[in-house]
Amino acid sequence: MADHNHHAEHAEAHFREKHLMLDPLPRGQMNDMVMEAMTEKPTWKFWLIFGILAAITAYGLFYSWGVMIAEGLGVAGVNRPSYWGIFLVNTVFWIGISHAGTFISAILRVFKAEFRRPFTRAAELMTTFGLVQAGFSIFMHMGRVWLSYWLMPYPNQRMLWPNFHSPLSWDLLAITTYLLSSTMYLFLPLIPDVAMARDRSTGWRKSFYKVLALGFRGTEGEWAHLRNAMNIFAFAIIPVMFSVHTIVSWDFAVATRPGWSSTIFGPYFIVGALHSGMGAAAIVLAVIQGTMKHMKYFVRAEHFDAIGKLMLIISMAWAYFFFNDYMVQWYGGDSWTDQLLHFHEYGPLGWMWFAMLICNVAVPWLILWNARWRATPWLIATVGIIINVGMWFERYIIIPVSLAINRMPFTWRLYEPGIEIPLGIGTLAFFILLYMAASKLIPLIPVWEVQEGQMAHELKKFGRETVVTVSELE
Amino acid sequence: MATLNDLKISEIKLSESEGGKWGMVIDQDICTGCQACVAACAMENNISFVGEVDAGYGRSMHWIRIERFWEGEYPEVKMTPNQPMMCQQCGAAPCEPVCPAFATVHSLAEKVNLQVYNRCVGTRYCANNCPYQVRSFNWRDYERPEPLPNQLNPDVTVRRRGIMEKCTFCIQRIHHAQDQAKAEGREVMDGEFTTACAQVCPANAITFGRMDDPQSLVSQLAKRRGGMKMHEDLGTLPVVTYFKGG
């Protein structure tokens, strides 16, 4: 009998160590941990990195953009026939990054995947900040950005409207909708956490959280309303997310260009977006766990393991769509497409095409099948970086490399980036900068969501077996 | 007052049989490739000179260009016939639906493809979607040192950085001829005026005129056997007919 008890205790301890949901702490203590992680005095390293990123943002993003507005797009590398270059590559890339946020937060919430709980906020922040960079990239790309408001449908005396036939008009509407709804969706689950922070802080922080918390006190009625709103948003934002990247893919798919007019671009782009987005989520989680206080309790091996599995599945889906797109175009027999496909593989940027396949398929498939490797934060973050490099290459191949070849061989010419490089690095620096600032201003861990999950989970004993049970809360 | 809503869709549609109002015939066999049309077009339409560096990077601005290729392997190489390329004024132009600002539109009166310079915001989608790659983008504000400004054509807008431009079939000349004819109470006669490129061509390789008038020289020439429209398979309904090897 004693032996049995010992065995059961051992199993229980094992469960608790492995799963955050089975390892509850007193609520007050957990709240304090999250508060401490946020309000902890930033180290000199934090300020050094923050300063460097701020300098890169100021130079790369704002100064370079100013130069480009003053001088014209001539300072960039875009030319005939590659009229779209790294600006559009980065737009697609950042919208892709933003997709994992909604995927993790909304889809996993709707399907009640319990492992999502500690990192939904981190993912939602990625969505909003990623979309900000996408917005920067697309506005930079315009020849006369000071007239960009003409793309907005506003009533005017001359009855001039934007052209709703143009995919760029759809883009504007879709991205704006996505930015607004994802910001609201970020804000809603934040309310209980900022209310918690308001009750535990003083000074400017208190006034800041007081405004953000909208007077949330945690009454039964307030929770019911909040749950309703979050439920509606979680379901409603999923089709928005699907439509955004489909519409981005239509920018290319509806064009009369070899290599672009492909009917499978919609789902192919969505899977590609999730691929880079999940990779980015892995990087962000590893950084949070490695650098912030108390995060080893909230972010555990099980979370990296779960993200790793998703990355592996999405990598397979990406390979499936890539092969579909490639094979159908190949068999299409159009001579221009044929030349383009050869140019992709054997052209001057052929190395990029092969690197894309290695980064997006070979590396994830070789590493992510192993549970121990999946659960290693630095390794999975490295895989995340590699996948993101691969996905950036993919967009680079689809946009400027494919544009180099068209139906008028007289105009064929390869694209060489110019000021796009500092501008692109500037958006990356700005993304990290916003993230660093947010980590000090809002609770990065949705504490209430973790506590709710821990309440629902229970270890029960059936005979000799220790079993995990989850109760339905809603 | 007539508003945009009064226009019926049927009026806007261009049927294949219609084939546009103005058109062009280019005889590649007599084209000498002298580039006089390129120069004349630049003079007539106030096209910027982009300079050596930008031109070397593929940013030269021309509304018409002469294309020529090597054929065969060295040393057994032949030159292909010269091929002047300009906007084909497509009846179903791929550039038009993709512009988010309606900066490139079809003219109902002249049935040519217009570029509205002051409406262009510079997304460059039209240029990407042009199968003929005949659009030019103003990558910078290009300098026009003295005394070049004295040479500017007052009938044509001078463009600034960040906007797209392309061949207009010298629409200022079309309008001038129409105004003249109207003042004299008659129709525009065939051959009364022509585009800058056609006017200057020493070999008469370019003929311009009314395609909807079966008696006009250009429609007579276009009806000959062996005419070819560029990338006809795309269904863009171009109004420029090429002849070669005849």
Q: What is the pLDDT of residues A96-149, one digit of tens each?
A: 999 888 888 888 888 888 888 888 999 999 999 999 999 999 999 999 999 999
Please answer yes or no on whether B59 and A167 come within 8 Å at the CB atom.
no
pLDDT value at residue A5? 65
Structure tokens of A350? 């052929």
Secondary structure (3-state) at B207: strand
By C-alpha distance, which of B64, B73, B22 is closest to B42? B64
pLDDT, tens digit (0-9, with 9 covering 90-100), for B81-128: 999 999 999 999 999 999 999 999 998 888 899 999 999 999 999 999
Please answer yes or no on whether B120 and A144 come within 8 Å at the CB atom.
yes
pLDDT value at residue B16? 44
pLDDT value at residue B1? 43
Please answer yes or no on whether A410 and B85 come within 8 Å at the CB atom.
yes
pLDDT, tens digit (0-9, with 9 covering 90-100), for A35-84: 988 888 888 999 999 999 999 999 999 999 999 999 999 999 999 899 99
Residue A186, phi then psi, degrees to nearest 5: -70, -40
Find chain B residues with C-beta within 8 A of A145's C-beta. 121-122
Residue B212 near residue B20, CB atoms below 8 Å: yes
Is ipTM > 0.95 here? no
Could you tell me the pLDDT band of residue B184, with boundaries at 50, 70 and 90? very high
Could you tell me the pLDDT band of residue A467, with boundaries at 50, 70 and 90? confident
Structure tokens of A391? 């996905």
> Which uninterrupted H or E stretch holds B22?
strand B22-27
Q: How far is A163 from chain B (nearest CA, A)?
A: 5
**B163 in contact with A, Cβ within 8 Å:** yes
Residue A247 near residue A171, CB atoms below 8 Å: yes
Q: Would the pLDDT of B9 be above 50?
A: no
| Extended strands (E) in chain B | 22-27, 64-67, 70-71, 78-79, 83-86, 104-106, 113-115, 136-137, 164-165, 206-210, 228-229, 240-243
- CATH 3.40.50.1860 assigned to A43-152+160-470: no
Q: Would the pLDDT of B212 be above 60?
A: yes
pLDDT value at residue A380? 95
DSSP letter at A111? T
Q: Would the pLDDT of B132 be above 80?
A: yes
Name residue, tokens 């009026």.
B11
Please answer yes or no on whether A408 and B94 come within 8 Å at the CB atom.
no
Find chain A residues with C-beta within 8 A of B82's C-beta. none
**B188 in contact with A, Cβ within 8 Å:** no
Query: Average model confidence (pLDDT) for chain A?
Result: 91
Closest alpha carbon within chain A to B86: A408
**B114 in contact with A, Cβ within 8 Å:** no
Q: What is the mean pLDDT of residues B213-232?
A: 91
Residue B92 near residue A368, CB atoms below 8 Å: no
**Separation of alpha carbons B148 and B62, rounded Å:** 17
Domain ranges of chain B: 17-243
Find chain A residues with C-beta within 8 A of B98's C-beta. 165-168, 254-255
**B13 in contact with A, Cβ within 8 Å:** no
The amino acid present at A144, given as its one-letter code, is R
Secondary structure (3-state) at B115: strand
Burial A104-117 (b: 16+ CB within 10 A, else e): bbbbbbeeeebbbb
Q: Would the pLDDT of A154 be above 80?
A: yes
Interface of B with A in 61-80 (CB under 8 A): 65, 67, 69
**Separation of alpha carbons B237 and B83, rounded Å:** 19
Closest alpha carbon within chain B to A261: B129
Burial A46-66 (b: 16+ CB within 10 A, else e): eeebbeebbebbeebbeebbe
CA angle A156, A158, A164 (to 5 degrees): 75
Please answer yes or no on whether A166 and B100 come within 8 Å at the CB atom.
yes
By C-alpha distance, which of B135, B105, B88 is closest to B231? B88
pLDDT value at residue A103? 85
Please answer yes or no on whether A81 and B122 come within 8 Å at the CB atom.
no
Could you tell me the pLDDT band of residue A474, with boundaries at 50, 70 and 90? low
**Separation of alpha carbons A85 and A93, rounded Å:** 12
User: How many whole angstroms from its chain centre is CA A113?
Assistant: 18
Name the more confident of A71 and B6.
A71
**B139 in contact with A, Cβ within 8 Å:** yes
Q: What is the mean pLDDT of residues A292-298?
A: 88
Name the more confident of B11 and B198.
B198
**B161 in contact with A, Cβ within 8 Å:** yes
Question: How distant, in Å, are the alpha carbons of A214, A419, A448 from that of A28?
Answer: 22, 51, 11
Find chain A residues with C-beta within 8 A of B87's C-beta. none
Residue A376 near residue A304, CB atoms below 8 Å: yes
Name A97's Cβ contacts closer than 8 Å, sequence gap at least 6: A126, A130, A133, A273, A276, A277, A280, A388, A431
pLDDT, tens digit (0-9, with 9 covering 90-100), for B23-81: 999 999 999 999 999 999 999 999 999 989 889 888 989 999 999 988 888 888 888 89
Q: How far is A251 from chain B (nearest CA, A)?
A: 9
Q: How many CA atoms lie within 13 A of B68 on its CB side?
A: 14
Identity of the residue in B99, B133, B163 whose CB atom sits nearest the CB atom of A144 = B163
Q: Which residues pair with A459 in a beta bridge?
A: A468
Q: How far is A423 from chain B (nearest CA, A)?
A: 17
pLDDT, tens digit (0-9, with 9 covering 90-100), for A172-231: 999 999 999 999 999 999 999 999 999 999 899 999 999 999 999 989 999 999 999 999
For chain A, give the number of residues: 474
pLDDT value at residue B138? 94
Q: Is the peptide bond before B100 cis (omega within 30 degrees of 0)?
A: no
Please answer yes or no on whether A84 and B124 come within 8 Å at the CB atom.
yes
pLDDT, tens digit (0-9, with 9 covering 90-100), for A281-290: 999 999 999 9
Name B83's Cβ contacts closer than 8 Å, sequence gap at least 6: B28, B31, B66, B67, B68, B242, B244
Q: Would the pLDDT of A89 be above 70?
A: yes
Could you tell me the pLDDT band of residue A158, with boundaries at 50, 70 and 90? confident
Q: Mutation test of the interface with chain A: which of B12, B123, B140, choosing the one with the most A Cβ atoms within 10 A?
A: B123
Q: Would the pLDDT of B14 be above 50?
A: no
Domain ranges of chain A: 43-152+160-470
Q: How far is A431 from chain B (nearest CA, A)?
A: 24
Residues of A in CB contact (< 8 Å) with B are 71-74, 78-81, 83-84, 141-145, 147-148, 150-151, 159-163, 165-169, 172, 251, 254-257, 403, 406-411, 413, 416
Please answer yes or no on whether A150 and B131 come within 8 Å at the CB atom.
no
Name A412's Cβ contacts closer than 8 Å, sequence gap at least 6: A81, A404, A405, A406
CATH of B17-243, one of 3.40.309.10, 1.10.340.30, 3.30.2130.10, 3.30.70.20: 3.30.70.20
Query: Average model confidence (pLDDT) for chain B?
Result: 89
User: How many whole angstroms from its chain centre is CA A410?
Assistant: 40
The amino acid present at A365, given as its one-letter code, is W
By C-alpha distance, which of B18, B16, B24, B22 is closest to B210? B22
**Separation of alpha carbons A388 and A409, rounded Å:** 33
Q: What is the mean pLDDT of residues A1-12?
A: 67
Q: What is the mean pLDDT of residues A236-259?
A: 92
Percent of chain A residues topping a pLDDT of 70 = 98
Q: How far is B139 from chain A (nearest CA, A)?
A: 4
